[in-house]
Structure 1
Amino acid sequence: MALRLVADFELGKDVLPWLRAERSASEARGVGSGGADVVENDYESLRVLNIERNGNIIYTYKDDKGNVVFGLYDCQTRQNELLYAFEKDLEVFSCSVNSERTLLAASLIQSTKEGKRNELQPGSKCLTLLVEIHPVNNVKVLKAVDSYIWVQVIKNSGHLQRDRIAENFVWAQWDMSEQRLYYIDLKKSKSILKCIQFYADESYNLMFEVPLDISLSNSGFKLVNFGCDYQDQEKLSKHLSLCVFTNHAGSLCVCYSPKCAAWEQITYSVFYIHKGYSKTFTTSLKNVGSHMTKGITFLNLDYYVGVYLPGHFFHLLNVQHPDLICHNLFLTGNNEMIDMLPHSPLQSLSGSLVLDYCSGKLYRAMLSQSSLLQLLQKTRLDCEKMATLHCALSCGHGAQLLEGQIIQWISENVSACHSFDLIQEFIIASSYWSVYSETSNVDKLLPHSSVLTWNTEIPGITLVTEDTALPLMKVHSFKGYWETLNSNLENVKYAKPHFHYNNSVVRREWHNLISEEKTGKRRSTAYVRNILDNAIKVISNLEARNLEPRLTPLLQEEDSHQRLLMGLMVSELRDHFLRHLQGVEKKKIEQMVLDYISKLLDLICHILEASWRKHNLHSWVFHFNSRGSAAEFAVFHIMTRILEATNSLFLPLPPGFHTLHTILGVHCLPLHNLLHCIDSGVLLLTETAVTRLMKDLDNTEKNEKLKFSIIVRLPPLIGQKICRLWDHPMSSNIISRNHVMQLLQNYKKRPRNSMIDKSSFSVEFLPLNYFIEILTDIESTNQALYPFEQHDNVDAKFVEEAALKHTTMLLGL
C-alpha cells in the first residue's frame, strides 16, 4: 500500500493483558469480585481517550460497578499506570494529566438513560473537573458549559483563568502537538475559520480569520480530536467531514467532504489556504454496497493529504505543489493496495498519528517508498508515473537507496512515458528535494518539475479549481510556522511572479563565451578564470559526495565548454538565491548552490552507470576493429536520451560525457548516420575524442574517409592541432590550406622579385611554381608578421609537397 501504517500502540496488546493481570492479582488478595465473564464485559468499554503531547496515551473503561477508570500508557517505558476512578456512571469526553501525574483534568457527563435527566447541573451538558490525584484527592470544578469541552492541564492550578476563548462555534479542532485551536464561527450564514495559538506561558493569540465557502448551518455541532472524536460511529457517513492540516513548510489546508445524498459519486474539496484557491474533486464509485456505512477519512501526510474511503479509493493530494493534477496520485478500489488499509474509520491526530477508534490501535502513518516504487514499475498511465515519482522522492528517508532503484528502473524504461521526459523529470525533482530542507523558501526559487502544463484528463476524476479569499492575519509579529505561512500568503497577495530559476541567462552568456573563443576575442582572463574556479568547486564537491570509484570514464578530462557552463550556472544561481533569500548567510547559499548543481551532475553519472552496469561494460575497452555490440548501442541510446533531457533545460553535463558519447557513436553508427548526428548537434566533437580517433584508427580507406569527414567538421583552432596527429596527404593538404589562408588574407600584389632561385622548384608545373614563388616571397619579406612556430615547419616547401601529393592521389598515379 502506498500508505504504510506502523502500529505504535494497541489496547488489546499493550493494555488489556496488564489489566487482566491486575484484576487476577486483586482477586487473589480477596479484593474485587466477578468471574471471567464480568471481567471481559468490563473491558468492552475500554477505549483510547487522549494522546498527550508527549505521546502518552490515556484510556478509560468502566468496571463492573459502572465506575469510570482512567489509565495511562507511558510510550517511553511502555508501562501502564492506573490514574483515578470516578465512583459514578459517567461518560467521559476528554482527559489530560500533567507531566508529574499529580493533576487530572476530565470533561464528562452522566450517562443519560431513558427518561433520566443530567444530574450534574441543570441545563449543563458537560462538567470539567480538576482532580489532585497525588498526594490527595482534591476536586475542583473548572467550569460547567452547555456543550462538550476539551481540557489541558495548566501549570498553576491555584489560579484558573476565566477568559472566554471562543463561543457560538459549530465546529472545532484541537492540534495537540502545535497547541492550536481551529474553530468555525457562523456570521451572516458565512463560515469563518479562525485559529488561536496557545503558548507555553499560558498566553494566546487569535492568529487569523478566513471565510470558507461551505455550509455548516444545519450540520450540527462537531468536535475533531477532542477526546479523539468519540461519537456515534454509525452516523459518521451521514455527517460532513472537515479538518485542518498544516506542515512545517507553511501550508494550511482545509479538507471538506459534505453530506452524501447519493453514493454513486463522492465529492470533496481541499482549500489550499496558503495558495489562495480550492480544488473540488469528484470521483465515481463502483460496486457501491456493503462498505458505504463508512465516511471519508482525511489524513495528514506532511507534503500530502490522504483521502481515504474504505474499499473504494485512496487519493494522495500534493499540498506543496497542487497546481497540476498530475502531481496527485489517485488509486481506485480496483487497486489491491487499497484493500490493505483498515475498513474502519481512521482519525488523523496531531503530526502523523492515526487512530483506528474501533480497534483501539494507534498508527504512525507514512508513505511507503517500496510500495510506491512497485506502483511506479507496474502502472501504465503517465499521470500515475508522474505522481508516484514525486510522491516517492518527497518521502526523504533512504533517499540514496530509493534513487538507485528509480534510476535502475529508468535505465530499463527510458521511453516508458509519452507525456513528459522521464529522465528530465527525475533529475529536476530529485535535485529539488535534495536541497529542499535547507531553507523554507526553496520551493519558490527552484523548479520541482520540468512539466509546466498538463491537459490530459485523469481517468475517473473531475476537478474544479476556484479562487478563495486569503486569511486576514490578526497579529503582526510572526515566528516559526506562522512566519512561513505569512511568507506564502504575501506571495499570493501581491501576485508575485514565480521566481523559479531557469538557465536562460546562462544559455545566453555561454553562447557569447563560445563565440568569443571561436573568434579569439574572449574577454578578460580574470572573468573566465573565476567561472572555471566555480566549476572546480562543483567537481570537488561532487567527488566529496561520492567516494566510490566510478564505473564510467567521466570527470577525467577538462572539457572547458562544460566547465564554463557549470561555472556560469553556479554564478547565476548564487545571484538568484542572494536576491530572494533574505537573511540567509552567504556561505550557506554558496554551499546550497554547490550541492544542487553537484546533485544534478551526480544523478546524470548514476543514470549512465546504471546502464553501464546493466550491460556489463565494467571492463569496457574500445576496439575499432569490430562493430559496436548491442550493449554498447544500448548505452549510446541512453546517453542520447540524457543529452536530450539536459539540452532543453540547458543543464551542464559531467566533463567527459561528450567524449564517451562520440566514441560510442563512432563505434556503433554507420558513417552517414554518424555524420548526421554530428551535423545536427547530437554528437559534439571534443578534442579528446578526435585525438583518440586519429591515434587509434589505422589508415584503411574506410578510416581515412571517417577521419577526413571529422576533421573538416572541427573548429579551426582544434582542427589545426588534430591535423598534425594524422600523417596523411589529406591532413597535409588541410594544414597547407590553413597556412596559405593566413598568408594571403592581407596579401597585396607587388612587382615580382626576379632574384628568387628558380632551381629550388623541382617540378616543372608552372601554375604551382608561380604560386609557390609568391608564398616564398611573402615568407621571406614578412617573417616578423607571420611567426608560424606552432605550425611545425609549415612553409612554402611544405605546401608544394602537399599539393603534389594531393594531386597525385586525386589522379590515381
Structure 2
Amino acid sequence: MVLDFNTTFNLNRDVMPWVLLHGSPVQERIAQKHEVLGHLGPGIQNPAEKSSRTLRMVNVERNGNVLYTWKGTSGLTCIGLYEPNLAHNKLLYYFEDDVHVISCSLNRENTLLAVSYCMSAEENRCLPHWSGLRYMAVLVEIQPINNVRVIKVVETSMRVQFLYPTAEGLHQFPESHLLVFSEEKYIELCHISVATENGNDVVITTKGQFPKDRIAEDVVWAQWDAPGQRLFFINPKHSSCVLHCVQFYPDDHFKYVFEVPLEITLSDQTLSLVNLGCDLCDESGKGRPASPYLQVFTNKMGGLCLIYVHPFPVAQEITYQAIFLHKGYTKTFKAATTMTDSSRLTKVAFIHLDSYVAVYVPNQFLHLVNITHPELLCYHLFLTGTDAQLSGMCCDCNVQSLWRSCAAECCTGIVFSVGISTEALLSLLSRTKLDCERLAILHIILLHQSHLEMKILDWLCGHLSVCRSFDPIQEFIIASSYRNVSTDAVHLDKLLPYTSVPLWNEEIQGVSCTTDLTDMPILKVGAFKGFWETFHSELEYMKVTRQRFQYGSNMHRRDWYKLINEVDTREKRNAIYQRTVLENVKKVILHMGTWRIDHRRAPLHQEEDYHDKELMGLMMVKLKDHLSQHLLHVSKSKIDQIVVDYVSKQLDLVCLIVEFSCRQYNVEPCAFGFHGKGSPSEYYLFQIMCLISEAAGRMCMPLPPGYHTLHLVLGVRCLPLENLLHCIDSQILHLTEAFVIKLLKELDDDEKNEKMKYSIILRLPERISAKVHHLWDHAISNNFIAMKYLNRSLSRLKTQELNRQSSPVRGTRRIDFLPLNYLIMMLSEIEERAHNNPFEDDNIDAAFLEEIALKQTAVLLGLHRKLEN
C-alpha cells in the first residue's frame, strides 16, 4: 500500500479500559446503589455495556490531546481527555442530564472547557419557552470544577474551538479566546479573562457577556487550520465564491490576510465545516452535511492549494479541481470510475502529506496531487486497482484529514499518522510498466527521501534501458542535486532544475487534466512572518516570471558549447582567469565526499583532467553570475557556497553511480588496466558510463576528473579497435593526457598495440600530443616530433619572410628542386640561430630534420621508387 497508516490513538485501546475501570461515575453510583454490578435488576442496563456503546471521539486539539464523551445508565453525560504524551486519561466534566455533545474544546492551559450540546426534549420541557431553545454552548471552569458560564443558547447547532498560541509562545496568557461557529452562518471570537486563585485554581473574571468580535457573516464553508492558527472561510458572491483567510496571533489580535474569487459553486443552504470536531449525526435526528467536498492545504514551501470535488458526477466519472493559489492556475482532473451511485462520493477523502495531497475514493483510485511542483501531470501519481487500496481503514467510515500527516476515522475513534510508504513505492517502481508512474515515483523519492539514494541506484542498474520518455540517470542527478540545495535560499528552488522532463505530452490512463489560469490572492497585510513570508515570495515570483533556469534546456545549451570552445582559447589564459577558475575547482573537489569511500574500486580523482576542471570552473562562474542577478538579498559568500554545494553534489552523484555499479557487478581492480579482455561486468560498467556521459552532455554539466580516463580504459578492454576509434571520433569517448601516458607506458609495441597507439596519437589534440610523443621511442613518434617541429618553425618564420625585402639563398648545398631548396635555407637559419642562442628551447639537430624532410619530399613526389631501382 502506497500510504502508511500508523495508529497513534485508538478509542477502544487507549480509553475504553480506563472508562470501564476508573472513569465512569455512572458505574460508581450504580455500584453504591446495588453493591455489586452483577446484581442489577432485570430492567437495568449494564453500565459497562452502555459506556462502550456511547463512547465516541469529539475533537483533537492542536497539541494532540483527544476529547471524547460517553454516557452512563443514570442519564449522565461525561467528557474525558486523553493526553498522548503521558498516555493518561482524565475526566474533565459530566452533565447530570442526558445530552448530546456536538462539539467541545479545551484551552491550552487545560483550565477551561467549552462545550456545545443539544438538550433532549425532556430537558427542554423543563425550560420556559422550551420549543425554541434546543442548542446551548457553555464554558466550564475545570481547575477546579466550580463554575459554568453560558455562552449562547440558540435554535441552531454550534461548534466551539479555542485558539492555541504558537509553538514559540510557551507562557500562559491572561485571556483565552474561543471561536464560535453558528449554523446561522456567522463566526464569532469570544475573549475570556481568567485569574488564578488559591494557587492553582483558575476562575473566569469576565462579568456579564463575554466581549466578542464578529469574524465573518454569510459564511457557507469554513475550515480551521489548527497548526497554523488560520481560519479559511467562503462567502457566496453572485455566481462565484470568495475565499478569505484570517490569521490569529498569540497576542490577542487577528488579521485578514487575503481574499480571492473562486470559480466554484457551493450550496448556501447549510454551513459546511472542516476540522472542527468529528462529523457525526446528532441524536435529535438532524444529521450533519456529508463530508465537505472542499479543503485547503498548505505546506512549508509556501504552497497553498485548494481541492474541490464537484458534487454531481457525470456518468461514471469524477471531476475534481486542484486550485494552486501560490501558482496562479487551476488543474481540473477527470477520473474514470465504476460507480453507479453518486452517493458514494461521501466517501471521498483528502489526506495531507505536506508536498502532496492524496485524493482517495475507496475501491476506485488514489491520486497523489503534487502541491510543490504541479506543472505536469507526470509529476502526480495516479493509481487504480490494488495499488490504490488503503490497508487498515474502515470502508464505511470517512477519513478526515486533521492536519499535515495526520488523519482520523471519527466513526471508529482512531487517529493515524500518515506517510508515503517508501517500500511500496520501490516495489511499484520495480514492477510498473508505465513511464509516468516511474517518473512520479522517482520524483517523490528523490526530492523528499534522501536516505533512499542507494535503493534508487539499485533500481537504476537494472532498468537503464526501460524508460523511453525520460532519462533516469538525469532524473537521479538533477532531483538529488536540487533537494540538496533547494531550501538554502528563497527562490532558489525556482532557479535550479528539479526534474529532467520539461514537457510531457503522453496520456495517463484513467485520468485527464486541463490547466486554466486563475486569480492570485490579494494580500491585505504589510508585514509577513512564517508561512506568509514564503507564500508572499511565491506570489511575487510568479507575478514577475514563470521561467526556470535549467542547464539542460535548449536556451542554455548554446552557451555551454561556447564554454567548451573557450577552454582552449589563448585569450582566457590570464592570471585572473586562472586563479578564479582553479580556486572554484579546488573548492568543489575538497567539498566532495563520495570519492573518499575507503577501499573504493573506481579510480576517480587520481589525475589532473584539465579540460573538465576548466569546464567545471567556467560553469561555476556562469552559475554564480545568474544567481547573483536573482538572489539580490543573498550575500556573495552564501551564493558561492550554494554553487559549490550544487556542483560538488552533481559530481558526487556521478562518482556514486560508478562506484555502486562497480560493487554491484563485482568489477575487479584489474579491470582498470590494459592487460586482458573485458568481462561482461566490465562491459556493463562501460555501458553505464556511456549513458552517464550522454546524460551529462544533455544536462550541460562536467564530469569528475579521471572519469574520461577510466571510461577509455574500459573501452580499450571491451571494444574492438574499430569500434573504439569510432567512439572517439563520435565524442562518446574523450581522449585525456593521463590515458595516453598510461597507454604508451603499459603496452608493448607488438603489431596490434602499435596500430592502436598510432591510431590514437593521430587523434590527439595538439595540446596533449606535444606532451606525450617523447614517451614513445618509435619511428612513428619521431616522425610526429619532426612534423610538429617543422610546422611550428615555419609558422614562426612566416612573418619574417613576408617582411624581408631581399635575401640571398643560404645553405650548405644546392638542389634543383626549389621547395626542398627553400626548406634547407630555413633550416640553416634555424641552426645558425640555435648556435647563437644556446638557451632556446627548440634546439634540435637540423641535419636530422633535413634528412627527414628529404625523405618525406621524395615520398610525396614518388622519387623513392626511382632511387630504390
TM-score (normalised: structure 2) = 0.85
Is the contact between residue 291 and residue 346 of structure 2 (CA under 8 Å) also seen in structure 1?
Answer: no
Query: What amino acid is the match of 2:136?
Result: L
Is the contact between residue 235 and residue 241 of structure 2 (CA under 8 Å) also seen in structure 1?
Answer: yes
Is the contact between residue 69 and residue 80 of structure 2 (CA under 8 Å) also seen in structure 1?
Answer: yes
Query: What amino acid is the match of 1:282?
Result: K
2:837 aligned with 1:753: no
Match of 2:430 in 1: 377
Is the contact between residue 72 and residue 81 of structure 1 (CA under 8 Å) also seen in structure 2?
Answer: yes
Of the candidates 821, 831, 851, which is equivalent to residue 800 of structure 1?
851
Q: How many residues are matched?
A: 803
- State how 1:178-257 maps to structure 2 within 5 Å: 178-217=228-267, 220-231=270-281, 240-257=292-309
**CA–CA separation in structure 2 for the residues paired with 1:702 and 1:767:** 40
Match of 1:96 in 2: 105
**CA–CA separation in structure 1 for the residues paired with 2:459 and 2:140:** 60
Q: In the TM superposition, what is the alpha-carbon distance from 1:618 to its structure 2 partner? A: 4.0
Of the candidates 564, 570, 575, which is equivalent to residue 620 of structure 2?
570
2:83 aligned with 1:80: no
Match of 2:551 in 1: 502
Q: Alpha-carbon deviations, 1:197-256, whole Å to 9, x = none?
A: 111012111111111111113563211111133347998996651111111211111111
Match of 2:6 in 1: 6
In 2 relative to 1, CA 288–608 (structure 1 residues): closer, same or farther, beyond 3 Å? farther
**CA–CA separation in structure 1 for the residues paired with 2:564 and 2:625:** 22
**CA–CA separation in structure 1 for the residues paired with 2:469 and 2:129:** 66
In 2 relative to 1, CA 102–599 (structure 1 residues): closer, same or farther, beyond 3 Å? same
- State how 1:479-494 maps to structure 2 within 5 Å: 479-492=529-542, 494=543
The unaligned stretches of length 5 or more in structure 2 are 39-44, 164-174, 177-192, 195-204
Match of 1:52 in 2: 61
- State how 1:771-790 maps to structure 2 within 5 Å: 773-783=824-834
2:351 aligned with 1:309: no
Of the candidates 303, 327, 331, which is equivalent to residue 379 of structure 2?
327
- State how 1:275-286 maps to structure 2 within 5 Å: 275-286=327-338
Q: In the TM superposition, what is the alpha-carbon distance from 1:662 to its structure 2 partner? A: 1.2
**CA–CA separation in structure 1 for the residues paired with 2:281 and 2:134:** 15
2:509 aligned with 1:455: no
Query: What amino acid is the match of 2:84?
Result: C
SS of 1:783's partner is helix
Is the contact between residue 314 and residue 331 of structure 1 (CA under 8 Å) also seen in structure 2?
Answer: yes
Match of 1:761 in 2: none
Match of 2:183 in 1: none
Is the contact between residue 291 and residue 310 of structure 1 (CA under 8 Å) also seen in structure 2?
Answer: no
- State how 1:398-797 maps to structure 2 within 5 Å: 399-400=450-451, 402-492=452-542, 494-502=543-551, 515=565, 518=568, 520-543=570-593, 548-745=598-795, 746-747=797-798, 748=801, 750-753=807-810, 756=812, 773-783=824-834, 793=844, 795-797=846-848
**CA–CA separation in structure 1 for the residues paired with 2:619 and 2:723:** 33
Task: After superposing the two structures, state which structure 1 stretch, 664-673 or 77-86, moved more.
Answer: 664-673
Query: What amino acid is the match of 2:7?
Result: A
Match of 2:158 in 1: 148
Query: What amino acid is the match of 1:732?
Result: N
In 2 relative to 1, CA 631–564 (structure 1 residues): closer, same or farther, beyond 3 Å? same
Query: What amino acid is the match of 1:502?
Result: Y
**CA–CA separation in structure 2 for the residues paired with 1:565 and 1:769:** 44
The unaligned stretches of length 5 or more in structure 1 are 759-763
Is the contact between residue 49 and residue 227 of structure 1 (CA under 8 Å) also seen in structure 2?
Answer: yes
Q: In the TM superposition, what is the alpha-carbon distance from 1:568 to its structure 2 partner? A: 2.2
Is the contact between residue 313 and residue 342 of structure 2 (CA under 8 Å) also seen in structure 1?
Answer: no
SS of 1:16's partner is helix
**CA–CA separation in structure 1 for the residues paired with 2:599 and 2:291:** 61
In 2 relative to 1, CA 480–371 (structure 1 residues): closer, same or farther, beyond 3 Å? same
**CA–CA separation in structure 1 for the residues paired with 2:297 and 2:663:** 44
Identical aligned residues as a percent: 41
**CA–CA separation in structure 2 for the residues paired with 1:117 and 1:487:** 59
SS of 1:389's partner is helix
**CA–CA separation in structure 1 for the residues paired with 2:654 and 2:265:** 51
TM-score (normalised: structure 1) = 0.91
SS of 1:651's partner is coil
2:115 aligned with 1:106: yes
**CA–CA separation in structure 2 for the residues paired with 1:630 and 1:335:** 36
Query: What amino acid is the match of 1:751?
Result: P
**CA–CA separation in structure 1 for the residues paired with 2:544 and 2:514:** 21
Is the contact between residue 99 and residue 118 of structure 2 (CA under 8 Å) also seen in structure 1?
Answer: yes
Of the candidates 135, 140, 144, which is equivalent to residue 126 of structure 1?
135
Query: What amino acid is the match of 2:418?
Result: A
**CA–CA separation in structure 1 for the residues paired with 2:446 and 2:784:** 54
Is the contact between residue 390 and residue 429 of structure 1 (CA under 8 Å) also seen in structure 2?
Answer: yes
- State how 1:160-175 maps to structure 2 within 5 Å: 160-175=210-225
Match of 2:167 in 1: none
Match of 2:146 in 1: 137
Of the candidates 335, 358, 363, which is equivalent to residue 411 of structure 2?
358
Q: In the TM superposition, what is the alpha-carbon distance from 1:339 to its structure 2 partner? A: 5.3
Q: Alpha-carbon deviations, 1:365-399, whole Å to 9, x = none?
A: 11111211111111110000010111122334xx2
Task: After superposing the two structures, state which structure 1 stretch, 89-98 or 142-151, moved more.
Answer: 142-151
SS of 2:717's partner is helix
Query: What amino acid is the match of 1:149?
Result: R
**CA–CA separation in structure 2 for the residues paired with 1:46 and 1:655:** 68
Q: In the TM superposition, what is the alpha-carbon distance from 1:272 to its structure 2 partner? A: 0.9
**CA–CA separation in structure 1 for the residues paired with 2:348 and 2:67:** 26
**CA–CA separation in structure 1 for the residues paired with 2:690 and 2:843:** 38
Query: What amino acid is the match of 2:809?
Result: R
